[in-house]
Structure 1
Amino acid sequence: MKRLLLTLAIIGAMVSAVCAETVWMTDFNKAAEVATKEKKPIFILFTGSDWCGFCIRFHREFFAKDAFKSFAKEDLVLLEADFPRRKKIDAATKAQNQKLAQKYGVEGYPMVIITDAEGKVIFQSGYGDFRKAKSPEAYIKLLKEKILSQSKK
């Protein structure tokens, strides 16, 4: 009986860890600090969260999935650069997001830029790459390959 309870407790902890919401930062400097400390790349999502149809689908089809949440928790520092139309964001965040979009040449949404802690681009991807991958797991595999190939340079 004790073994059964212990097993259930462990399974419950694992499920809640995987299902826990991902933490998206909104400050690049703080994300860079965490990336340096944890030795992880920064996954920047440029999005129009409340108006861009492809952004909303990308969230539903990829970012909301447990496979992504688990991958992100282990391997990434997440940064959302949002360009909403209805939702209000503070002026400093808005200015930072515009500066980041200009720096990385973002011309459409959604756009994913993976950088090192200093902001050097490792990989750039859009919703089309996700659609070509056909599944969250295949897209994660692609992202991991790109990150790994860059870390070997």
Structure 2
Amino acid sequence: MKKFILALAFTLGFIGVNAQEQEWYTDMNKAVEQSVATKKPLMLFFTGSDWCGWCMKLQKEVFKTEEFTTWAKENVILVELDFPRRKEQPQEIKAQNAQISQALKVRGYPTVWFVTAEKNAEGKTNLNALGNTGYVAGGPAKWIESANPFIKKS
């Protein structure tokens, strides 16, 4: 019985660690560097993390699952562009998030845009939109199925 409990604890601990290995960037410059280096598109998650119920539902049902974590590691660079109401946020992050939201014409939350990033001759970043989605009912498999056509374009 002790071996079973030990094995179960190890397995659950491994799953927990695996799910926590997601790296969500909040600084677009760092995310773009990673995207260019890995040749993976950016997945931009526009969220109201402390007030948007559908955003929280998407996080819980999809983004915090092992299936999504595995998919994301192989396919995209994760970027969270948060618009909280109660949490403090650095002014430069607020400005960055507002600028990107405006450029992509985000009208509601959650919105997930898939983009590729290119540095131009002046060192500025150009984002090329691949497509967008939001909350998709049915868990991680359904959400990933809806996202795959966008990343296959990159």
Q: TM-score, normalised by structure 2?
A: 0.81
**How far is the alpha carbon of 1:19 from its aligned partner?**
2.5
Q: Would you say 1:124 and 2:128 are equivalent positions? A: no
- Equivalent residues of 2:114, 2:150 under 8 A apart: no
Distance 2:70 2:87 in 1: 28
Superposed CA RMSD = 2.2
Contact 1:46–1:82 (Cα < 8 Å) also in 2:
yes
CA distance in 2, matches of 1:36, 1:121: 15
Give the deviation of 1:74 after TM superposition.
Answer: 1.6
Residues 40, 117 of structure 1: 8 Å contact kept: no
Q: Does 1:135 align with 2:139?
A: yes
CA distance in 1, matches of 2:19, 2:139: 18
- What residue number does 1:5 align with? none
Q: CA deviation at 1:145?
A: 2.5
Letter in 1 for 2:145: K
Q: Which residue of 1 aligns with 2:92?
A: 92
State the SS of the aligned residue for 2:113.
strand
Alignment of 1:147 with 2:151, yes or no, is yes
TM-score by length of 1: 0.82
User: In the aligned structure 2, how far is the partner of 1:15 from the partner of 1:40?
Assistant: 25
Percent identity of equivalent pairs: 38
Runs of 4+ in 1 over 6 A off after TM superposition: 11-14
Q: CA deviation at 1:135?
A: 2.7
| 1:36 and 2:47 aligned | no
Unmatched tracts of structure 2, length 5 or more: 1-10, 119-126
Question: Per-residue displacement from partner, 1:43-72 (whole Å, max 9, x unpaired)?
Answer: 000000001111111111111111111111
Aligned with 1:30: secondary structure? helix
CA distance in 1, matches of 2:58, 2:105: 20
Q: In proportion to residue count, which structure has more strand? A: 2
Kept after mapping to 2: 8 A contact 1:26/1:80 = yes
Report how many aligned residue pairs link the two structures. 138
Structure 1 partner of 2:101: 101
Q: Distance in 1 between matches of 2:80 and 2:116?
A: 16
